[in-house]
Amino acid sequence: MAKYNVELLPAADADLDDIFDYIFLDNPDAASEVLDRIITSLFIRL
């Protein structure tokens, strides 16, 4: 299986920050978990 390098563009990184900040307002623990799950899914599928 081929390996690929994944690089988040600044806009994508900013979107992840916005997602985290939005969820954090209601549930800080959930914000961390959601961010971890998104990042994990980005890099595991390679």
**pLDDT tens by residue, 1-46:** 677 778 889 999 999 999 999 999 999 999 999 999 999 888 775 4
* Residue 31 covered by a domain: yes
* Residue 2 covered by a domain: no
Number of domains in the chain: 1
pLDDT at position 37 is 95
* Residue 18 covered by a domain: yes
* Residue 3 covered by a domain: no
pTM attached to this predicted model: 0.77
* Residue 5 covered by a domain: no
Domain ranges, residue 22: 10-44
pLDDT at position 27 is 97
Start-end of H helices in 1-46:
10-26, 28-44
pLDDT at position 34 is 96
* Residue 4 covered by a domain: no
pLDDT at position 1 is 64
Residues 6+ apart with CB under 8 A from 44: none
* Residue 19 covered by a domain: yes
